[in-house]
A and B are shown apart, each in its own frame.
Chain A
Amino acid sequence: MTTRRASIPNASNIRREALDNGLIILVYENPAVQSVNLMGSLHAGGIYEAPEQSGLSSLAAGALMTGTASRDFDAIHGALEDIGAELSLRGHRHKVGFSGKALAEDLPTLIDVANDALRNPVFPAEHIERLRGERLTWLQYSSFDTRYRAAKAMREALYPACHPYHYSTYGSEDSISNITVADLEAFHHRHYGPRGMILVIVGAVDAEAAIELAGAAFGGWRAADQPAVLSVEAPGDRDNQQRHSITVPGKTQSDISLGIIGPARAADDFLPAQLANSILGEFGMMGRIGKSVREDKGLAYYAYSRLGGGHGPEPWTASAGVNPENVDRAITAILEEIERLATELVSDDDLADNQSYFTGRMPLRLESNEGIASHIHSMESFGLGLDFLLDYDGLIRRITRDQILAAARRYLNAKDMVIAVAGPPHDDGAH
């Protein structure tokens, strides 16, 4: 037991340093590997952009590595690719995230390039146009992707146009076409800064040396005008089930997306809701939904549910891909399972199975640098405390059947679900 506790990242073996500019650096030594991972985030996600500029945050993040004050496009990528290193930056709903890896000996280069890209981008016009073209191609391709179209229709119906979650973080063809270099520069200038930024380093490194390296790189960063961190409220209650159908030509399968507003990660009942979701559409090859839709009825190759659990009111969703003639049967089966979860206590076996699943999977999740870095980042980002993983077994084991029912009842109402179907034509009664 001592060995296991010592190998779990916690406050005693994670080196945490808060710089005076607000940046939090966390380092975990993993001598079992030859590489190092860098992971982090800052508050510059899609919720900080105007609706007509949806995709601005994501485009800005993607453009950070197209040129800096001291490196052009080829120099940035050459610095990484010459040593087999990787670094990517992505705009998410609330934050911009970055992630990279290199051989441990090349950590200084990885930190240097990350620091340069985050702080000194120049958004060269010719590269922005190229990036814009790539985004537009992706959006055009996705407009014929039934899974993407079903999820998009569900999201747009679930969140009204006045809510930031209504919009894709990747933007639309219209919004991406209209974003200018000046927009990117202004967004970067206003929202990028060290306050609230998290930097996690995991791998075959010396913690003190890594802190010193990262501190030397980022310690001089100042951004006095960084705005306050935004929070996002859930949209108002709805009291009707909506169904949307999109006919996409040339397809043979229909994709179904059902959604309703779920809890944020910070909600008191998040963990019970997470267990409820596992029972509904995850545990034992996709939970009750998988058993009903895939195993018992043989309707689909995939059928599952997901709980977002981010910084705001992410959706709680269920998805399936089925032959068009089976769409209604699959929707009915999924809604029945949702209704059942929200009205009946789960069994003692269901609870015990899923508690074991949640606690038992931790060694696998902490096997790689990336897995460890992801957990350390989550503990810091969601304010869970660095001993969260030490306490995790107890937190999960104390969840009761009543708490699971209460969470399911609070969030899951089959009669209020938004349902979207994208695929070949079929008669679904939505006219």
Chain B
Amino acid sequence: MPNLTHHTLPNGLTILLREAHSAPVISFWLAYRVGSRNEPTGRTGISHWVEHMMFKGTEQFPAGLLDREIDRAGGQWNAFTSMDATKYFETLPADKIDIAMRAEADRMVNAIFDPDETESERTVIISERQGAENQPTFWLQEGVRGSAFRVHGYHHEIIGDETDLRAMTRDDLYQHYRAHYCPANAAVIAVGAFDTDDMLARIERLYGAIPASNTPDLFVRAEPAQQGERRINVERPGKTAFLELSHHAPAAAHEDWLKLKVLDAVLSGSSGASDNKTSRLYQALVKTEIAAGVGAWLTPTIDPYLYSILVTLREGRAPAEAETVLLAEIERLQTNGISDDELRKARKQTRAAFAYSTESVTEQAYWLAQSFILGEVDWFDNYADRLMRVTADDVLDVARRYLVARQRVVGVLQPIDAQEETTSA
């Protein structure tokens, strides 16, 4: 895509700007290079909890004020903590964006972390985790990740372990905030209806005065190579069985990642364009009535993560049946590769998905923020072009190197019987 302005302030803050006058709105993002990947044992969930505390106010913008002001302006705002990053955004009518720019600059350094608010939020965070626990697949995902990563921070859920959520203190949170929320570890991203020179000048005024600090020493432990297939079983009350088949995958910046993305488009069709009922896995598992659904995920991450396939079994069908079919499909891929038609379809779907995802300024800004986090600010801009260059031979090659038993984790969620009761008054 054209039109990207990339600038770095003397204090180390990265600025990415893209003018887009399709609608009178601006999406403004602050992305910090810290996520659950950087959390040691005992501090799991701390990045996400800090994200919550950022909504508890500063002296200049007390808690609740921004909720009110941004809603009054008809805007949206929110934040996301991922494995690799913590991102904050506001999308507002163009003439109202100033408050977002000022507020993000202020809370980069002046968040209060009031002790009472911290305790109140502890209950909210634990409630968020318990809400997730109500979904049986949460336990399966947690089990598979924990099995796939013994050393690296990708091994725990972003929400954190409950024992850590109960033990962490306000000072732990504040220390994490002070260590990681600084210009050299962050990027400002804006997409929308503004004049680039004017926007750059405004950002320099607001963020240029924030003191520089050293780039934080991020906690990262490299995962040693897996030495054989791993299997986990999870039992939860319910009626529905699930199978997850995960393989270790490369980092998003690695040249093999996009080749696996094309492989995924052929296998599951999850290129973002549609639910792909003509994909190989739908045809092999859902159309044959073994499964009620199948999906796959190849998440773009800083460090090598997973390519995961999740199968929802129909009643009376066993996870082992689905596993046999999945392994046969993988073997077919490793033996025969993909056809020219499948490659052509994957390319067209990518072009369409790219068009859909650039309709809104919020999505454009999200992908710029994600590209910054991945270490290549043009990662998403070049995504479609690079994907078009992937060949059928490339797909065959990555199928043979990555989808192998030694790099595999198999997870089974087996439903178990349980009684329920109903009362009324």
Contact = CB atoms under 8 A, between A and B. Distances in A.
A134 B348 CA distance: 29
Given A242-B425, A364-B25, A81 B277 contact: yes
A298 B71 contact: no
Contacts of A361: 74-75
A134 B314 CA distance: 7
Most buried by A among B121, B131, B345: B131
Contacts of A59: none
Contact of A33 (B93, B122, B134, B359): B359
Most buried by A among B25, B134, B424: B134
A120 interface: no
A82 B339 CA distance: 13
Contact of A34 (B55, B135, B277, B355): B355
B283 to A, nearest CB: 8
Interface string B76-106: 1000000000000001110010000000000
21 contacts: A7-B23, A77-B276, A83-B352, A85-B273, A85-B274, A85-B352, A86-B275, A138-B292, A141-B238, A144-B237, A144-B239, A145-B134, A244-B422, A246-B421, A253-B127, A253-B131, A284-B67, A301-B127, A326-B123, A353-B72, A364-B75
Most buried by B among A73, A83, A153, A297: A83
Interface in B205-241: 236-240
A133 B292 contact: yes
Interface in B345-371: 345, 348-353, 355-356, 359-361
A284 B71 contact: yes
Interface of B: 22-25, 55, 63-64, 67-68, 71-76, 91-93, 96, 119-128, 130-131, 133-136, 236-240, 269, 271, 273-279, 286-287, 289, 292-293, 312-315, 345, 348-353, 355-356, 359-361, 418-425
A34 to B, nearest CB: 4
Contact of A143 (B91, B124, B239, B314): B239
Nearest to A30: B22
Contacts of B315: 133, 136-137, 140
B348 A353 contact: no
Given A323-B123, A361-B75, A430-B423, 18 more contacts: A7-B23, A33-B359, A35-B352, A81-B345, A84-B348, A103-B351, A130-B289, A144-B238, A245-B423, A283-B68, A298-B123, A299-B123, A323-B127, A360-B72, A360-B96, A363-B23, A364-B76, A364-B91
Interface string A349-373: 0000100111111111011110000
A86 B349 CA distance: 10
B25 A81 contact: no
B349 A81 contact: yes
Interface string A79-122: 01111111000000000000001110000000000000000000
A78 B345 CA distance: 10
Nearest to B341: A82
Contacts of B126: 323
Given A33-B355, A35-B352, A353-B68, A362 B74 contact: yes
A415 interface: no
Contact of B352 (A103, A136, A429): A103
A295 interface: yes
A321 interface: yes
A368 B74 CA distance: 16
A228 interface: no
Contact of A246 (B289, B418, B420): B420
A251 B134 contact: yes
A137 B73 contact: no
B240 A252 contact: no
B184 to A, nearest CB: 31
A236 interface: no
A243 interface: yes
B3 to A, nearest CB: 14
A298 B240 contact: no
Contact of A84 (B75, B96, B351): B351
Interface in A267-316: 283-285, 291, 294-302
Nearest to B22: A32
Contact of B273 (A7, A86, A283, A323): A86
A137 B119 CA distance: 40
A141 B25 contact: no
Given A81-B274, A81-B278, A243-B425, A134 B293 contact: yes
Contact of A367 (B55, B134, B352, B360): B360
A4 interface: yes
A431 B425 contact: yes
A321 B127 contact: yes
A185 interface: no
A405 interface: no
A146 interface: yes
A356 B72 contact: yes
Contact of B75 (A144, A360, A368): A360
B234 to A, nearest CB: 11
A350 to B, nearest CB: 10
A368 B360 contact: yes
Nearest to B78: A285
A130 B314 CA distance: 10
A7 B25 CA distance: 13
B119 A298 contact: yes
B240 A137 contact: yes
A253 B134 contact: yes
Given A73-B277, A134-B293, A361-B75, A140 B239 contact: yes
Contact of B134 (A86, A242, A252): A252
Contacts of B73: 356, 360
Nearest to A79: B278
A381 interface: no
Contacts of A157: 424
Per CB-CB distance, the 8 closest pairs between chain A and chain B, nearest first, are A360-B74, A84-B352, A249-B418, A298-B120, A250-B237, A32-B22, A361-B74, A137-B292
Contacts of A77: 276-278
B117 to A, nearest CB: 9
Contacts of B292: 133-134, 137-138
Given A284-B68, A298-B124, A359 B238 contact: no
B286 A130 contact: yes
B305 to A, nearest CB: 26
B133 A253 contact: yes
B345 A82 contact: yes
A84 B134 contact: no
Contacts of B127: 253, 299-301, 321-323
A244 B423 contact: yes
Contact of B130 (A85, A103, A253): A253
Nearest to B344: A82
A302 B131 contact: yes
Most buried by A among B278, B313, B314, B419: B278
Given A140-B315, A245-B423, A284-B71, A86 B274 contact: yes
Contacts of A252: 130, 133-134
